[in-house]
A and B are shown apart, each in its own frame.
Chain A
Amino acid sequence: MIATVFFYMFAVFLLGSALLVITVRNPVHAVLFLILAFFNAAGLFLIAGAEFLAMNLIIVYVGAVMVLFLFIVMTLDVDFAELRAGMAEYLPVGLFVGLVLVVELIMVFSAWALAPEAMKLRMAPMPKDVTNTEALGRVIYTDYVLYFQLAGVILLVAMIGAIVLSLHHRKDVRRQNIADQVSRRRNEQVALVDVEPGQGLES
């Protein structure tokens, strides 16, 4: 009973905030609504018993990705109103494409045949003595360790590539050297001078 109430609460907030993400005028508000949507999605995951995914969603998406995104939106001067200017013009075409997709989906799903075991397997209970995290760990680090490690190497190559192609040591750019800044002493940098009135400062 209480789970059902929470399910509908999370679902309604999720859909509502998702809708607001694409309709509000202010891009910062859109990002904030997206964060709200993620929180509600995490709630749904919790109800479904996937606590690891729920926490991941909050830590990774809300904690890291969205904060970064918020920074970008705040620093970039993106005028969403201008981007949305042609909306009325493209609306008929968009609606037509959407309609075609809906008809196609209906056609696909009306001809869909489920495997006889599928419904039963869907109901298969989770083993009681294995937690979510443990099960995921077993899949990632034991069954598919080869895939996991290879994906890691691919990300490493992406990182090396980005650095190789964009890092450029230029001589004419002054870089901050914190050690130099910290080791400055007053008597090397500042001189106290008694200035006589009307005489000015000798350089």
Chain B
Amino acid sequence: MSHLDFTAARPEIALALMAMALLLFGVFRKSRVVDAVNTLALMALAATALLVLFVPGSDRIIAFGGTFIVDAMARVMKILVIFAAGIALVMSVHYMKWERMERFEYAVLMLLSVLGMMVMISSGGLITLYLGLELQSLSLYVLAAMHRESARSAEAGLKYFVLGALASGLFLYGVSLVYGFAGTTTFAGLTQALKSGISIGLIAGLVFILAALAFKISAVPFHMWTPDVYEGAPTPVTAYFAAAPKLAAIAVFVRVLYEAFPHAEEAWRQVIVFMAIASMLLGAFAGVVQSNIKRLLAYSSIGHMGFVLVGLAAGGQEGLRGVMIYLIIYLVMTLGVFAAVIGMRRDGRPVEEIEDFAGLARTNMGLAFAIGALMFSLAGIPWLAGFFAKYFVLLSAVKTGLVALAIIGVLASVVSAFYYLRVVKVMFFDEPKEPVDPAPFELKLITALSVIFVLFYVVWPGPVTALAQAAIRPFIVP
């Protein structure tokens, strides 16, 4: 234990302290507490992001006896997670007023879930990973059930909790097997132990760990909870679910696969390839019959995670860079779409059925155009950002010889285009219904920025590529 260890974990320590301070502030302050806590929480996120950027020390800091790693990937992913949480918090402000669910604990729980994700991203051992995972999941269960007047919200929280607890159990069982057969839980130690050969017990443990992580990114066959939870949870919370935890879990995938188990590559590649194919196909086919936009986006996120897994299976510099580019583009598209969905209300009630979007183009052209552009991008139509995201991961799959996987990806993408385009068709060609209420400024701004990103990515892809390249630097074998 040295002074340097605490320096490495400085952003996490600061975030934890700020969250606790906000909790005290919220409890003791009597009036107008929610707005103040939300504003302070945003400032806390910004401060944490700055601390992440300026963790002093070398490129790769290993702290707490190898159980905590701060490298380029950790920094980039932490910034992205903090960004997603900040946007989700901004999106919640008006929604909480509309739905009369203003509680100051909302922002505090969000900060604590960010803390959990940051610990996950920086984990250098299976126990740190588990603690981070549990911290973020526990906060998210509560956030999902936060809307107490809605029975569906309570159902979403309970479902997520029960299945999440099952996933935690699987994870711990896997960890105990790995520890029993390898004698260590740190990633560096596991790499060392696996050099001399891999026993069947280790593979079994690894498969359990992968299953639990697949649950967190809602990859098939561990996706069952996703549509119900997405539909039942308050919409800004759904947006947060779709963005931040996925990023953190994929970062953990990269760490576990490429840092702890690089010598078991043949074993885990089959698992990843299977989950990628199953997720892409299910995301494409099950989305077709959905009538609720939140359920549709749930299946959409399952499909997108399938594509991310393609890049993960391909591996190498191109595959991992594809994964990172995909995650960044997916994050921006998802937050944009959800901002538009949250802002759509008619007579003070949320509009969530797709048929209620009918004729939006004639009553609100700007909103219809924005949703249309984002849907085209999610479908992967050239030359929008979503197309390039898919292009890079599929290209890396072809280059590493996983041609069949790439072909299935393209086919699944074509099928899923059906339901994205159906939304566009309903908005532009159906008979208009009553106009929707005007959305608050910040939701419009988020949607607009997201649309601008999606449209002009093709012109200036440099920053995203540079960010992705920086993130994967620790994993490139020189």
Contact = CB atoms under 8 A, between A and B. Distances in A.
Contacts of A147: 67, 127-128, 131
Q: By DSSP majority rule, is chain B's interface helix, strand, loop, or mixed?
A: helix
A160 B105 contact: yes
A164 B131 contact: no
A164 B65 contact: no
Contacts of A151: 131
Interface residues of A, number: 19
Interface string A129-163: 00000000000001101110111011011101101
A165 interface: yes
Contacts of B68: 146
Nearest to B135: A154
**Residue with the greatest number of chain B CB neighbours at <10 A, chosen from A151, A161, A163:** A161
Contacts of A168: 148
Contact of A161 (B20, B115, B119, B141): B141
Contacts of A146: 5, 9, 64, 67-68, 128
Given A142-B1, A157-B135, A165 B142 contact: yes
Contacts of B135: 150, 153-154, 157
B429 to A, nearest CB: 44
A161 B138 contact: yes
Nearest to A142: B1
Q: By DSSP majority rule, is chain A's interface helix, strand, loop, or mixed?
A: helix
Nearest to B139: A157
Contacts of A154: 131, 134-135, 138
B313 interface: no
B109 interface: yes
A151 B68 CA distance: 15
Nearest to B108: A160
B16 to A, nearest CB: 6
A146 B146 CA distance: 29
A73 B178 CA distance: 40
A177 B142 CA distance: 30
**Residue with the greatest number of chain A CB neighbours at <10 A, chosen from B1, B20, B23:** B1
B260 interface: no
B117 interface: no
Given A143-B65, A145-B1, A153-B16, A160 B109 contact: yes
A117 to B, nearest CB: 12
Interface residues of B, number: 31
Nearest to A168: B148
Contacts, number: 61
A157 B131 CA distance: 12
A145 B1 CA distance: 9
A163 B105 CA distance: 10
Contacts of A153: 16, 112, 115, 135
A118 B30 CA distance: 61
Interface in B363-406: none
Contact of A160 (B1, B16, B119, B142): B142
Contacts of A150: 119, 128, 131-132, 135
B48 to A, nearest CB: 15
Contacts of A163: 105
B94 interface: no
Contacts of A164: 103, 105, 109, 142, 146
A145 B145 CA distance: 32
Contact of B109 (A142, A149, A157): A157
A157 B142 contact: yes
A165 B128 CA distance: 28
B13 to A, nearest CB: 9
A145 B8 CA distance: 14
**Residue with the greatest number of chain A CB neighbours at <10 A, chosen from B9, B65, B138, B145:** B138
A164 B154 CA distance: 12
A122 B106 CA distance: 50
Given A151-B131, A154-B138, A165-B148, A160 B65 contact: no
18 contacts: A143-B65, A146-B64, A146-B128, A147-B128, A150-B119, A150-B131, A150-B135, A154-B131, A154-B135, A157-B135, A157-B138, A160-B23, A160-B109, A161-B109, A163-B105, A164-B105, A165-B142, A165-B148
Given A143-B1, A157-B138, A161-B138, 16 more contacts: A145-B1, A146-B64, A147-B128, A150-B128, A151-B131, A154-B131, A154-B135, A157-B135, A160-B112, A160-B142, A161-B109, A161-B139, A161-B142, A164-B103, A164-B109, A165-B157
> What are the 10 closest A-B residue pairs judged by CB atoms, nearest first?
A161-B142, A150-B131, A146-B64, A164-B105, A157-B138, A142-B1, A154-B135, A157-B112, A157-B139, A154-B134
